[in-house]
């Protein structure tokens, strides 16, 4: 690449980075909120990092790489800190206490209704909610994920060749499959 073209690209890039810094500084001064100021600070920091990276590439200097890493860490930690501060200050406004759910009902959260609160589509609570009883199966070898032939996904490991002759069928009785 000719030296004139390279010089023109460096000057154009520097002008664009400087313009972005000036616009971001205007946003930092003008505000109006802390988030606007934080975004402006991030843009200034990113512009400095881009300028420093371009300088490192053109001058073949690698000793400034730790400076770039520290700048990136500062930008990240600053953004996270400000966002956490803003989220905590928003939750402390009057009437918006943390955990206040007075405007929400149980149907908004897809939770089961209370016994004294009738459901809109039915007359009885027991019809609107499935039974809470759990049916237990007495056979310890029963596998709910297996098909009728005893094969399927299963929940445990398949019996090995030594255990294959002592596998029980669905009736709970042992059968000799190995012989």
Long-range (24+ apart) CB contacts under 8 A made by 20-26 are 20/47, 21/47, 21/48
The string of pLDDT tens digits covering residues 7-54 is: 999 999 999 999 999 999 999 999 888 989 999 999 999 999 999 999
Of 11 and 130, which is predicted with more confidence? Answer: 11
Per 3-state DSSP, the chain is made up of helix, strand and coil in percentages (nearest 5) of 50, 0, 45
CA distances from 121 to 118, 124, 132 (A): 9, 9, 20
The string of pLDDT tens digits covering residues 132-162 is: 566 667 776 766 666 556 555 555 565 556 5
User: Is residue 77 over pLDDT 80?
Assistant: yes
Span 158-171, average pLDDT: 57
How high is the pLDDT of residue 93? Answer: 59
User: Is residue 62 over pLDDT 70?
Assistant: yes
How high is the pLDDT of residue 90? Answer: 72
The string of pLDDT tens digits covering residues 78-95 is: 999 998 888 887 766 555
How high is the pLDDT of residue 139? Answer: 73
Q: What is the DSSP letter of 116?
A: T
Span 108-122, average pLDDT: 55
Six-digit token string for 133: 């009883």
Model's pTM, two decimal places?
Answer: 0.49
């Amino acid at each position: 690449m000719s030296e004139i073209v390279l010089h023109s690209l460096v000057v154009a890039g520097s002008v664009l980075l400087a313009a972005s810094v000036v616009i971001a500084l205007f946003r930092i001064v003008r505000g109006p909120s802390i988030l606007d100021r934080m975004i402006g600070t991030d843009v200034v920091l990113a512009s400095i990092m881009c300028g420093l990276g371009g300088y490192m590439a053109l001058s073949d200097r690698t000793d400034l790489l730790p400076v770039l890493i520290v700048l990136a860490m500062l930008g990240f930690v600053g953004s996270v800190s400000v966002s956490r501060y803003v989220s905590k200050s928003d939750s402390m406004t009057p009437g918006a206490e943390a955990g206040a759910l007075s405007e929400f009902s149980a149907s908004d959260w897809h939770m089961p209704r209370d016994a004294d609160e009738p459901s809109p589509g039915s007359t009885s609570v027991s019809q609107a909610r499935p039974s809470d009883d759990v049916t237990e199966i007495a056979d310890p070898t029963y596998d709910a994920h297996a098909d009728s032939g005893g094969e399927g996904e299963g929940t445990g490991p398949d019996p090995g060749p030594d255990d294959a002759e002592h596998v029980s069928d669905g009736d709970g009785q042992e059968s000799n499959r190995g012989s």
